DNA sequence: CGGGAAGTTGAAGAGCGTCAAAAGTAGTGG
DNA sequence: CCACTACTTTTGACGCTCTTCAACTTCCCG
């Protein structure tokens, strides 16, 4: 159950040292491959030791929970590799996935003293854990971190609003295409081929993210295949055959 | 078109001076009735002059637009009185209302150099306008403002995530009840009767907020009336007859 | 009083959900 | 290596919630 979907052989950030350094290096943050992507980049090289002093690494197997909604929120996290999902539940089991987090993403905005949502690994994942108290006192000392977090929160808010438009007003096909383009955009940012997106997420999770059922997601995939807009291989790779047309669909034209 | 829904006779914050002072007072921010509710409260009394130096008051009539998605985002706002809606559009006219802003709410998170959404007055409204550049340089000098904004952004994010759960997974009735309880909660915060909520928002706008049509909203209102859960008077006041039962419905029980 | 906007109600229809079954895929152990 | 099992995905048939379209009523403001 603990096999990593992003093994050493294909590091999540190509051309950089493998993740295992994180636990061994005496100044792990300085060597951290995801630093340029994360909030940690708001500190200068020689200030990183203060961060390194409070972090601890964390490995999760696929499906392993990180925390549950309502728990005391004592830790914040940074995703080093893999994919983590964040979701809310209704009492009868209805679930809404709020977002998927990937390499470099920060997990810990939008919360009070308790977590406002649950989090669990989708694929195997490596995280960096910050004790909340200690991070807060570090923020007192280095307000740049606060500034960076504000920028992050603003961005997250914009993404959340776009998702509200999707959930409130888009059709099933438009939703799925929007989702695929989000993954494509992310692949481009990571330096991968933007028209060859790897989808490590089940139909069920995609449904719970898009406000649809598994079956509707599956049918929408089939439709897009029949329309000649995508190709799906058995190993969960989706090829975008006409990203112009897909863009138009996602935006509601 | 410019009649104020919140006339001087019933100031939005009871027991305080009427709003018209804002334009006349030499140190308007010090006398501002909504300061304790707003980001402006992060400055000390004697620092408020710096804020006062950059703000300008603004009055909107019902339905009057404030800005459109895509415009250069040169100004941020604080709502002094009335109600402002914030929304996104799809090319074919489908609309999703992202949120309604009331007294004390800050308008200007979640944006880059351009506005990520459109904003327009619902009722007549009074706003306080900050030039973005100047507010940013004030933030350099007084990092407490930044801290406060981060807290605000975090809260907004939590609200947005709750709304995603609503849009993705709740039924029409659950959505409407959630909406009414949101208004009720706000009324309680403002010191009004929490079981007597004033709804200055049309069925159409409620629908675009909840991801429903006007008709479905209307039918859901009728259902709730028939179930003996609410009473609706002709002047848009809704009485919550059993807030316990309503809470249960909104949470999906 | 009159006209336009907002709200309500009904009938019909579409899109997505539900239920069920079959096919595909992956991990396990003999 | 293959069979066994469990899970995921796909597809079909059917049903239900919400939408669409339309008519009518109520409310508001000049």
Query: Over the stretch B177-236, which tens digit does the pLDDT of each residue have?
Result: 999 999 999 999 999 999 999 999 999 999 999 999 999 999 999 999 999 999 999 899
Distance in angstroms, CA of B216 to C1' of D21?
14
Provide the pLDDT for residue B21.
47
Which residues make beta-bridge pairs with A83?
none
SS3 A57: strand
Residues comprising chain B, all counted: 253
What are the start-end ranges of the H helices in B104-194? 132-141, 143-169, 172-189
Q: CB distance from A189 to chain B under 8 Å?
A: no
User: Are the Cβ atoms of A165 and B111 closer than 8 angstroms?
Assistant: no
pLDDT, one tens digit per residue, over B120-151 is: 999 999 999 999 999 999 999 999 999 999 99
Looking at residue B121, its pLDDT comes to: 98
User: Rounded to two decimals, what is the model's pTM?
Assistant: 0.91
Model pLDDT, residue B1: 35
- pLDDT, residue B174, reads 98
Q: Which of the residues A94, A106, A153 would you substitute to probe the B interface, choosing the one with the greatest number of B C-beta atoms within 10 Å? A: A153
B-chain residues within 8 Å CB-CB of A109? 153-154, 157
Residue A215 contacts strand D, CB under 7 A: yes
B210 in contact with nucleic chain D (CB within 7 A): no
pLDDT at B11 over 90: no
Low-confidence stretches of chain A (pLDDT beneath 50): 1-22
* Mean per-residue pLDDT of chain B: 90
pLDDT for A14 equals 38
Strand D close to A134 by CB, under 7 A: no
Provide CB contacts within 8 A for A20, sequence distance 6+: A8
Could you give the CA distance from residue B158 to residue B135 in angstroms, rounded to a whole number? 25
**Residue B234: per-residue pLDDT:** 87
Distance CA B196, CA B87 (A): 27
Shortest alpha-carbon distance between residue A214 and chain B (Å): 14
Q: Which positions in chain A touch B165 (Cβ < 8 Å)?
A: 88, 90, 96, 98
CA A227 centroid distance within chain: 29
**Cα gap A140→A132, rounded to integer Å:** 13
Which B residues 206-245 touch A at CB under 8 Å? Answer: 208, 210-211
Spell out which residues of A between 227 and 246 contact strand C, using CB within 7 Å: 234-235
CB pair distance less than 8 Å for B150 and A153:
yes
Which chain D positions have some atom within 7 A of a protein CB? 8-13, 17-22, 26-30
Task: Over range B168-182, report the average pLDDT.
Answer: 98
Q: Which H or E run includes A58?
A: strand A56-60
Total number of residues shown for chain A:
253
- Element of type H or E holding B241: none
pLDDT of B7 above 50? no
pLDDT of residue A26: 56
- H helix or E strand, kind and range, residue A66: strand A65-67
Q: Does the distance separating the beta carbons of A92 and B116 come in below 8 Å?
A: no
Instruction: Please report the pLDDT score of residue B18 as a whole number.
Output: 44
pLDDT: is A234 or B86 the higher one? B86
Phi and psi, residue A43, nearest 5°: -105, 150
* Spatial CA neighbour of A167 closest among B119, B161, B215, B116: B161
Neighbours of B137 (CB within 10 A): 12
User: How many CB atoms neighbour CB A70 within 10 A?
Assistant: 11
Residue A25 confidence (pLDDT)? 56
């Amino acid at each position: 159950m603990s096999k990593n979907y992003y093994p050493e052989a294909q590091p999540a950030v190509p051309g950089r040292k493998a993740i295992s350094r994180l636990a061994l290096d005496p100044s792990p943050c300085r060597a951290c491959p995801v630093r340029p992507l994360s909030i940690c980049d708001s500190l200068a090289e020689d200030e990183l030791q203060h961060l390194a002093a409070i972090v601890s690494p964390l490995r999760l197997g696929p499906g392993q929970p990180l925390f549950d909604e309502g728990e005391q929120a004592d830790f914040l996290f940074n995703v080093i590799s893999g994919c983590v999902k964040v979701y809310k539940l209704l009492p009868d089991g209805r679930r809404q996935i709020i977002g998927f987090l990937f390499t470099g993403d920060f997990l810990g905005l939008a919360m009070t003293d308790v977590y406002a949502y649950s989090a669990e690994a989708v694929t195997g994942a490596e995280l960096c854990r910050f004790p909340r108290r200690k991070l807060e006192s570090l923020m007192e000392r280095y307000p740049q971190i606060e500034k960076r977090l504000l920028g992050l929160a603003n961005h997250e808010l914009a993404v959340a609003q776009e998702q509200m438009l999707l959930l409130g007003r888009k059709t099933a096909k438009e939703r799925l295409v929007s989702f695929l383009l989000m993954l494509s955009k992310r692949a481009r940012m990571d330096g991968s081929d933007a028209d060859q997106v790897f989808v490590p997420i089940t139909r069920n999770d995609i449904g719970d993210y898009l406000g649809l059922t598994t079956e509707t997601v599956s049918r929408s995939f089939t439709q897009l295949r029949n329309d000649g807009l995508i190709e799906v291989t058995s190993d969960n790779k989706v090829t975008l055959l006409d990203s112009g047309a897909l863009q138009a669909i996602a935006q509601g034209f």
